Structures are given as C-alpha cells and as structure tokens.
Structure 1
Amino acid sequence: MHVFVYGTLMRGFYNTFAQNLHTNATYIGKGQASGRLYDLGAFPGAVFDASADLKIKGEVYYVEKNVKSIMDSLDTYEGINDPEFDYYEKREAIILVNNTKIKALVYHLKIAVDTFTLIENGDYLEFLSKK
C-alpha cells in the first residue's frame, strides 16, 4: 500500500509517528499531487483536487508489512475517528513519483480553509525554512 505524506510525517521530522513510518515502510521517493497546501499553524493540511493547477509536494512510502498497525498509527496521528480533532479524511489520490503516476492513500483536509495561509509552492519544508 502506498502512502503520500506532505507534512510532519516526512523525513526531517522526528516525532514518534514519523519515525515509525520511516522505520517500517519503504521510502519510494519525492512525489507530488494536484491540489492546495495550507499552513494550519503547527502543521499543514492538503486539499487534493485533480483539476487544480497547484501541486502538493511530499514523499511516497510503501507499506508492505504490519500494514494495519502502521496505518492505525498514522490514522491516530491524523485524528481519523477522533471527534475532537476532525480535520482529515483518508482518500486515494494520484501521485506522480519517479516519473510514474500511482494511487496512494492521502490525508485530505476536510475543514474550511478560508482562514489559513495557502502555501503556493506546495512545499511544507521550504515554507518552514522561510518562516
């Protein structure tokens, strides 16, 4: 199962959930998807939209072993099924990685984005470096 991450689960972040993903999944490469990336304060949120002219930049991982355990961990981190933190839903999106289009699971922002800053270049790490 492929997973596309675009924020605090990428390499360079050292929280427990990112480390679990990096240790237990295979890094495939940098990827991008059509959509818009927003700064939510302490983390980003992405609205995936195949017709968008902007790109969300991130990383693709392949989860082959302990899939349920790893995905449950990611779901916990992203607040899936947590009524007190109901920002994301899990979806599939088309990701371009290594010059190939693949389907990957993504965490899609489902709340209104009106008050958040658009990260126009779609790159959360670059955005943080300029903050």
Structure 2
Amino acid sequence: MSDLLFVYGTLRKGNSNSMAEYLSTQAEFLTQGRFQGRMYQISYYPGVLASGNANEQVCGEVYRLHDAQATLSILDEYEECSSQDVQTAEYKRVTTRIDGLDGNVFEQVWIYLYQWPVTEQRVIKTGDFMQMLQKA
C-alpha cells in the first residue's frame, strides 16, 4: 500500500478545519505537486476529474503518511467513500502519478477523484483551490 497522498482542496495547508489539522499531524509534507486533471467548484470544496489534456493541471500537495492504513481509513470517512457508505460515493480513492514541483515524479500516490456529474459545476480554470479562496 502506498503511503503517499496528494491533496488539492480542504486538506491543503492554510485551511482551518479539523481534518486539515489531523492530516498535518499524521503526515510529512513532501512537496507541492501537480495532477493532470480538471477542477470543479462543487460547494465550499472542489472536486477533480482526471483529464487527457496536458494543459489541465490541478495544484496540490504531496504527503507521506505515518500510518497509511489508519490515516486513509479516517480520510475515507471524511470524503464519504468508506466501505460503509451505501450510495455511490461522491469521491473514489485511487492511485495516480503526481509531478512534484521539486522535480520528483511520484508514480503511486493516493488521490480522491470526484465521481458525481459535473454538468452544473463551475470549472476552476487555474486548478488551484487555495488561489481561488484568496480571490473570493
């Protein structure tokens, strides 16, 4: 099981919520990174879909989890995609490639991808949720 996690929304540094604080105590920040995807404004949080367009990049952070299994179990509940959720989950945790801004390429990194329809959602063209919050 990979112990790397890429976060792009409410779990990023600079957010003042209990789960962002939890992640900061359960993981080591490695680097800023990018994922080839498209970001949408879902509510007060974003959702990301993978993209085939290399120009669509999502900004985020790569963390090394101290106890991957335990931490991911807690985060799965937060993202409402644990095995106990009966409906089609809003997010799905998958592994993917992340390009670190430090020059490293991470091949097996966990990310939470959005699964519900986005036809009514606004695209965040910069792919940077924190930048969008600062402008709001």
- TM superposition score normalised by structure 1: 0.92
Aligned to 1:16: 18
Farther-moved stretch of structure 1 (100-109 vs 76-85):
76-85
Identity across matched positions, percent: 28
Equivalent runs, 1:1-131 vs 2, <5 Å: 1-49=3-51, 51-52=52-53, 53-63=55-65, 65-81=66-82, 82-83=85-86, 86-97=89-100, 98-102=102-106, 103-131=108-136
Give SS of 2:6's match.
strand
Q: Per-residue deviation at 1:129?
A: 1.4
Q: Which runs of 5+ in 1 are unaligned?
A: none
- TM superposition score normalised by structure 2: 0.89
Q: What is the total number of aligned residue pairs between the two structures?
A: 129
Give SS of 2:131's match.
helix
Amino acid in the other structure paired with 1:26? E
Q: Which runs of 5+ in 2 are unaligned?
A: none
Hey, what's the Cα distance between the residues in 1 that align with 2:74 and 2:19?
Answer: 7
Runs of 4+ in 1 over 6 A off after TM superposition: none
Hey, what's the Cα distance between the residues in 1 that align with 2:127 and 2:10?
Answer: 14
